[in-house]
Structure 1
Amino acid sequence: SIINMQRNMTQITNSIDKNVQGGTTTTLGGELDMERLGKARNQIMDVKLKQVSDSVSGQTVVDPTGYLTDMQSMLPSYNGDIQDVRKARLLLKSVRETNPKQPQAWIGSARLEEVVGRLAEARVLIMQGTDKCPKSEDVWLEASRLAPADQAKKIFAAAVAEIPNSVRIWCAAANLEKEKKAKRRVYQRALENVPNAVRLWKAAVELEEIDDAKELLTRAVECCPSSAELWLALAKLETYDNARKVLNKARATIPTDKSVWITAAKLEEANGKSERCAIVIKRALEALRANAVELTRDEWIKEAEKAEKSGAPATAQSIINAIIAEGIEKEDRKHIWMTDADECIANQSIHCARAIYAFALEDFKNKKSIWLRAAFLEKQYGTKESYDNMLERAVKACPREEKLWLMGAKSKWQQGDIRSARGILEQAFESNQQSEEIWLAAVKLESENNELLRARQILARARTSASSPRVMMKSAKLEWCLGELKNAIKLSDEGLAKYPKFDKLWMMKGTIFLQMKDANSARKAFAKGIENCKDSKPLWILLADLEESEGNQVKARSVLERARLKNPASPELWKRAIELEKRVSGNEIADRLLSRAGM
């Protein structure tokens, strides 16, 4: 208690005075005991501090342990400069006093106090704002946001009394309710006050089951006949026949809205009447133009892409077919259409791209590049059947384009249908008798399927109809693979007589002789090949390897030196020469050669 503290303090003070007056000294020889004096002073200070912290009744007013915690909780959450806050507060106060009917001044003031952690002051300010600006939606909404949930309902009640036609306030009031039944009541009252608000009707419909929603939408389109969204929502809930009637009414009421027409086309498609989509879209364009509604082709393409993504590919293709040629000069058609198709593919609108290609092919029936694009589209995104059908149409339109024939044959081959692949290539021969690629593709098909006799027959025909270096090489190689080495040499000679500059035939001939253990003939073949194909590095290397294998390292070195003179910039020839020197002469000469190669 305070009395006991006072008694202790008096005793300590008296004790100190007596000691000082009596000349009390320390054991160290007559000096004052300063340590004891300091302790006594601290005790006196502690008693006085405790007296200050106590009330008259003797109970502690301030809790020392909780004081700092309480102070911390009172600090605002704002981390900026307090001087800026004061300036902003004075400025906003000045605006409120100058123009109290300005809603943003009250909202700004309330938000400033909210930011610095003074929520109570923010609520007081915004409520003053509702008194000064009772017709401002923003002020009422801000007041409801800052208020607790139970107070927010009262605020909304006052708000709708002041502004009964505010859709935003009615929607915010409905969102505040937790139960569906309470939300319905709010929207019912709202629609009584604002019957032409589409947003309120849509929100109210979302709360209802299908039958009730249908009834509500029927009333909605009566109150808001110009809202296409409400008409379309009602049509979506109706049966096919009723939906058609609803959309017909919508078109009559809103003749300038394209979405009603597009929905009508989707309706026909969804009910298995895709052939009617084109008719509906054609009538849509006519009706919109009659009502002075002009949409660009880019806007229509976007609508087509939306239709495809919504699951209506027939509607999308009908839109493309109706507008793709609009406003384009004839000479620009191909370029623009291909650009449109590329953009559709990039947007994953495959049906739209397919429709563009189909339309373009009607105009450019014999254009190989468009057929190839259409075929690659089917290959990547279509089925095997659609891909094969596209190629079948393509070769009929462009029978001279060998790539299209080869793609068709390869597709059948990969599917395991060898007979069909063979049939496609036979048809290709009729239109492209001089095509080396088609003949060799037929040979590969038969060879890969172990039909070597067929392959030999095809090559014999090819040598007559479409002779070429590759055909002669493939002929000789086939005989080589069959073990008919003499026939292979004979065919090589026939080929070299016609195409002496084709180094692969010389290489093949020499290699066959090596297999026959005839090194001299191989050497002659390689040497003759080098005479005709001086720049063929593989031929030089084969001759050098032959000489080394025969023990003629000096000749091998000479061959590689001559080869480097003809082809001084060939890394492969330098590498072979260095490796030869390592094997024959050792590292020292090889290193010298390596340093020359790096110069």
Structure 2
Amino acid sequence: MASNKSNKLAFLSMPAPASYVAGLGRGASGFTTRSDIGPARDGPSAEVVAEAQAKRGEEAEVDPEQFQDPDNEYGLFAGTTYEADDEEADKIYDVVDQNMDARRRARREAREEAELAKHRAERPKIQQQFADLKRGLSSVTDAEWEGIPEVGNLTRKKRRRDERTFVVPDSVLVGDRAKGEYENALDPMQQETGGLETPAESGTLTNFVEIGQARDKILSLKLDQISGTATTSGSATSVDPKGYLTSLDSVIIKSDAEIGDIKRARMLFDSLVKSNPKHAPGWIAAAALEEHAGRMVAARKLIKMGCEQCPKSEDVWLEAARLHQNSDAKVILANAVQHVGQSVKIWLAASDLEQDVKAKKRVLRKALEHIPNSVRLWKETVNLESSPADARILLARAVEVIPLSVELWLALARLETPDKAKAVLNKARKAVPTSHEIWIAAGRLLEQEAYAPEKSEAEREKELSVVDRTIEEAVKQLRRHQVLLTREQWLKEAERCESEGSPRTCEAIVKATVHMDIEEEDRLDTWLGDAESAASRGRVDSARAILAYALRVFPDKRELWRRAADLEKAHGTRASLDAILERAVHHCPQVEVLWLMWAKEKWLGGDVPRAREVLEKAFVANPESEQIWLAAVKLEAENGELGVARELLVRARTVADTERIWMKSAVFERQNGQSDLALETLSLALKKFPKFAKLYMIQGQIHQARKNYSAARAAFAAGLKAVPKDTTLWVLASRLEEADGKSIRARALLERARLVNPKTDVLWAEAVGVEERAGAPAQAKTMLARGLQECPESGLLWSLAIWAEPRPSRKAKSVDALKRCQDDATVICTVARLFWAERKVEKARQWFARAVGADADLGDAWAWWLKFERVHGTAEHREEVVARCVAAEPHHGRVWQAVAKDDANRGRSTSEILELVAALLTQ
């Protein structure tokens, strides 16, 4: 053991072989550092390393590319000889590849361009995104360039401040420490003298001269700002002592930022006027800046320099006159006239400065000497004349100087007598043959003469026909002189004549031009649109003239006569309406509506015999007309002729024999207390018309009024079997069961009705009402929710849902209702009632008006509005509601129909029905 240990120690003390590389046997490559080899020792060579690897049985690494042929080291034919035919083959293949590539190049390049365009469209360059804005910069004016604000720091990053520290002097520390201390001892000198003493030689002398100068400078700056009360004349300045303090209140205190902006702008304008002193807008802008800054003296000085540099610019002189007081402005404008004597603005400004009318006239007449062809100067001069004779003389001279001014000719014609005015207009027409205004003025003059009080009717019509011929000649002459006014322009001129009180000239223009530029097949629609548009703008005469011309072309068009009659009914007199309807029935005798309108207007006018005559003529033209027979019956019944009305109904059943005539016969007998006769009539009618639901309704209602519930139930049951799709029958049958105290049967009937008539909101509303009347509000709310699911756009159900909500949540419910059914009159009326409950009077009034505008046939909305106006409106408001309701003649509404069809209210007018319905409604 001892020997082995000693051998080991001897081995470790032996020096390493020269070829030894530490870690080479473990795969480490040999490397040395300077600490290992010393200053000049190299590592082992490649041969030494290979020898050491061979001793350890390791194979040397062989480079695979060491023995490769650089000419042909890869490929199928590697190692073979490359000959001339191989080179020729390679060239042929290259040519083939090029040809194939050229064949596909067009499609490949097109595909690449499409992909590139798609990529550019999805991700355009910044330059392309702002290309339109860059093009728009070409239209930016100099003023807009100057108005571009300074670009600030928009990165939203806080700039790093240079936080440098400095050593605080000891004097600052000591002074800050002694700042809060109090001195409780007197100075020895003060103790000796017994008081305070200011030494004269201490070096702190007060300079009163500098203080006075500073005070005077501040006072002069303040006086410069008082532009309203200061007047400058040479070097002397006078200030109004009374208005001084008041004007000081008007001085605007500017912020630091605004002062900085003013300074920068002043520098820019100063550079502008120095670089381009002949640029007048620069001087004006510089003076305006000083005026804004409150430096009126500087502003006047700048504008004075501008007048010297740009004496031919009228804007500079006008700005100078504006910046100075009245007396100085007169001097400035007098100087301006010397340089720009042809400027109308300068002369008008000088005239405005004068306070005396004579002085104004003197200035304007002087202006006319320099600029005799200015229409504006002549008009201003004429306007100053108080005497028509003097104005006439001036206008006569004006048209001699400016014969092409239509305004002056027309003004002169207005001042002349009718005979002389004709001569003036003739001269004007010769001087200006392309003016349509002169022709129209001639027509208006002729119309004015025709309506003179001393003229008879025949003379008036004769002279009015001259107006038509004059306008026709005007259109021809203007067309001859290549003045082609469009049809719309002529109609505008017609409306202008109407607004100025010349209806016959308006009509003449329409007659002569309304047919222009229209295709033959579009004439009717175009004229109807023109008439409606003119009536909507309040131009009734224009609309009347258009319809009159259309009726001459299409005398057999029913729609035209209806439009003309409606226009006369709304805006005309009873006589004009009567004339239109008489002509209408003459040209369209088979149109029953026109006969009925004519008879109704006669009846409303109190001429019952004439109404009977109209209906007799209507019978002749339409012997089997149901509407005319019923109108005749109503006329006789309303005037107390019950026997005549009954006879007419008997004849009508024989001649016309329609289901509606039989129904009206039964209603007539029922209203007059003849229930048995009404039931007999209904029995006969049901044999002829078993599918007419209203017959079953009347029969059931008669039995119900007699308390004969079984007979009424049988009548309704027969009606439901014959006409199961009529919802009104189901509702009447349900109400019959309720009246008999059988709410369960009423529910069952309504359930069957909903199965037969799905998605019918009236049936769901009736079911909700049954539950509410039965005292089951929870069941009513559930039924209402089911109804809204089936009829989500029903205004009736949404209205019930709004009132079913608690008061705080009604407004939110009304918003949902308006989203679902925006134009439903019932919902709008409900919203108006909500505003009424919140005492928002004006909003409620607006929403009530909106409700009747959405559906004027809903009588309940009119009644709610009248009830609202009774509480919050005036007498005028109530009268307006009643008048509009009477004009609309509503027929529908849950409460309105019940009141209007009640036998007790037979013969009542629309206004009376409105009052009754409003009294029944409860908020």
Both structures adopt the same fold (TM-score exceeding 0.5): yes
For residue 836 of structure 2, what is the aligned residue in structure 1?
none
Within 5 Å, which residues of 2 pair with 1:406-485?
Answer: 406-485=596-675
Displacement, 1:578?
4.0
**Structure 1's 353 and 578: CA in aligned 2 closer, same or farther, altered over 3 A?**
closer
Displacement, 1:323?
0.9
The equivalent position to 2:397 in structure 1, one of 210, 214, 219, is: 219
Q: Which amino acid aligns with 1:325?
A: H
Q: Quick one: distance in 2 between partners of 1:75 and 1:597?
A: 69
**Structure 1's 471 and 75: CA in aligned 2 closer, same or farther, altered over 3 A?**
closer
For residue 52 of structure 1, what is the aligned residue in structure 2?
206
The equivalent position to 1:501 in structure 2, one of 662, 677, 691, is: 691
Displacement, 1:275?
2.1
Within 5 Å, which residues of 2 pair with 1:56-205?
Answer: 81-205=258-382
Q: Quick one: distance in 2 between partners of 1:49 and 1:425?
A: 123
Summarize deviations over 1:290-318 as a string: whole Å, max 9, x none: 22221111111111111111111111111
**Structure 1's 139 and 393: CA in aligned 2 closer, same or farther, altered over 3 A?**
same
Conserved 8 A contact 1:304-1:352: yes
Displacement, 1:269?
0.8
Displacement, 1:439?
1.9
Q: Quick one: distance in 2 between partners of 1:284 and 1:127?
A: 55
Shifted more, 70-79 versus 461-470: the winner is 70-79
For residue 269 of structure 1, what is the aligned residue in structure 2?
447
Asked if 1:17 is matched to 2:188, the reply is yes
For residue 373 of structure 1, what is the aligned residue in structure 2?
563
Shifted more, 192-201 versus 341-350: the winner is 341-350
Query: What is the CA RMSD across the aligned residues, in angstroms?
Result: 3.6
Asked if 1:315 is matched to 2:469, the reply is no
Task: Provide the secondary structure at the position in 1 that maps to 2:300.
Answer: helix
Displacement, 1:127?
1.0
For residue 849 of structure 2, what is the aligned residue in structure 1?
none
Conserved 8 A contact 2:471-2:512: yes
Task: Provide the secondary structure at the position in 2 that maps to 1:81.
Answer: helix
The equivalent position to 2:418 in structure 1, one of 210, 231, 240, is: 240
Displacement, 1:170?
0.8
Q: Quick one: distance in 2 between partners of 1:492 and 1:514?
A: 15
What is the number of residues matched between the two proteins? 560
**Structure 1's 287 and 468: CA in aligned 2 closer, same or farther, altered over 3 A?**
same
For residue 8 of structure 1, what is the aligned residue in structure 2?
none
Of structures 1 and 2, the one with the larger relative CO (CA 8 A, separation 6+) is: 1
Conserved 8 A contact 1:140-1:155: yes
Q: Which amino acid aligns with 1:433?
A: P
Summarize deviations over 1:78-100 as a string: whole Å, max 9, x none: 55532322222222222222222
Q: Quick one: distance in 2 between partners of 1:253 and 1:557?
A: 89
Shifted more, 82-91 versus 382-391: the winner is 82-91
Q: Quick one: distance in 2 between partners of 1:216 and 1:549?
A: 91
For residue 403 of structure 1, what is the aligned residue in structure 2?
593
The equivalent position to 1:571 in structure 2, one of 748, 764, 785, is: 764
**Structure 1's 545 and 140: CA in aligned 2 closer, same or farther, altered over 3 A?**
closer
The equivalent position to 2:429 in structure 1, one of 251, 259, 262, is: 251
Displacement, 1:150?
0.7
Displacement, 1:283?
1.9
Q: Quick one: distance in 1 between partners of 2:750 and 2:331?
A: 102
Task: Provide the secondary structure at the position in 2 that maps to 1:500.
Answer: coil
Asked if 1:338 is matched to 2:509, the reply is no
List runs of 5+ in structure 2 lacking aligned partners: 1-182, 226-247, 451-462, 787-923
Conserved 8 A contact 2:224-2:296: no
Displacement, 1:373?
1.0
For residue 790 of structure 2, what is the aligned residue in structure 1?
none
Q: Quick one: distance in 2 between partners of 1:576 and 1:109?
A: 80
Q: Quick one: distance in 1 between partners of 2:431 and 2:560?
A: 43
Q: Which amino acid aligns with 2:443?
A: A
Displacement, 1:489?
1.5
Displacement, 1:234?
0.9
Percent identity over the alignment is: 43
Displacement, 1:547?
6.2
Q: Quick one: distance in 1 between partners of 2:499 and 2:430?
A: 28
Q: Quick one: distance in 2 between partners of 1:220 and 1:302?
A: 29
**Structure 1's 373 and 547: CA in aligned 2 closer, same or farther, altered over 3 A?**
closer
List runs of 5+ in structure 1 lacking aligned partners: 1-11, 23-38
Asked if 1:260 is matched to 2:438, the reply is yes
Displacement, 1:594?
7.5
For residue 352 of structure 1, what is the aligned residue in structure 2?
542
Q: Quick one: distance in 1 between partners of 2:340 and 2:779?
A: 100
| Largest Rg, 1 or 2 | 2
Asked if 1:487 is matched to 2:688, the reply is no
Conserved 8 A contact 1:492-1:505: yes
For residue 26 of structure 1, what is the aligned residue in structure 2?
none
Q: Quick one: distance in 1 between partners of 2:691 and 2:359?
A: 94
Task: Provide the secondary structure at the position in 2 that maps to 1:231.
Answer: helix
Task: Provide the secondary structure at the position in 1 that maps to 2:338.
Answer: helix
Q: Which amino acid aligns with 1:119?
A: M
**Structure 1's 336 and 66: CA in aligned 2 closer, same or farther, altered over 3 A?**
same
Q: Quick one: distance in 1 between partners of 2:535 and 2:189?
A: 106
- By percentage of residues, which structure has more helix? 1
Conserved 8 A contact 1:564-1:573: no
Summarize deviations over 1:478-527 as a string: whole Å, max 9, x none: 12222323321211011100111222212322333455565554443333
> Taking structure 1 as the reference length, what is the TM-score of the superposition?
0.84
Q: Quick one: distance in 1 between partners of 2:533 and 2:473?
A: 27
Q: Quick one: distance in 2 between partners of 1:523 and 1:138?
A: 95
Q: Quick one: distance in 1 between partners of 2:590 and 2:206?
A: 111
Conserved 8 A contact 1:184-1:204: yes
Q: Quick one: distance in 1 between partners of 2:338 and 2:782?
A: 99
Summarize deviations over 1:179-215 as a string: whole Å, max 9, x none: 1111111111111111111111111111111011111
**Structure 1's 167 and 592: CA in aligned 2 closer, same or farther, altered over 3 A?**
closer
**Structure 1's 190 and 301: CA in aligned 2 closer, same or farther, altered over 3 A?**
same
Q: Quick one: distance in 2 between partners of 1:174 and 1:106?
A: 25
Q: Quick one: distance in 2 between partners of 1:551 and 1:134?
A: 103
Summarize deviations over 1:426-478 as a string: whole Å, max 9, x none: 22222223322222222222222222112111211211122222211111121
> Taking structure 2 as the reference length, what is the TM-score of the superposition?
0.56
**Structure 1's 17 and 371: CA in aligned 2 closer, same or farther, altered over 3 A?**
same
Q: Quick one: distance in 1 between partners of 2:405 and 2:784?
A: 83
Q: Quick one: distance in 2 between partners of 1:555 and 1:518?
A: 17
**Structure 1's 543 and 223: CA in aligned 2 closer, same or farther, altered over 3 A?**
closer
Summarize deviations over 1:531-588 as a string: whole Å, max 9, x none: 22334455456556666766878877766665565457632563476478x48xxx6x
Conserved 8 A contact 2:764-2:783: no
Conserved 8 A contact 2:446-2:464: yes
Asked if 1:296 is matched to 2:472, the reply is no
Q: Quick one: distance in 2 between partners of 1:124 and 1:132?
A: 12
Q: Quick one: distance in 1 between partners of 2:253 and 2:748?
A: 90
Q: Quick one: distance in 1 between partners of 2:422 and 2:403?
A: 17
Task: Provide the secondary structure at the position in 2 that maps to 1:483.
Answer: coil
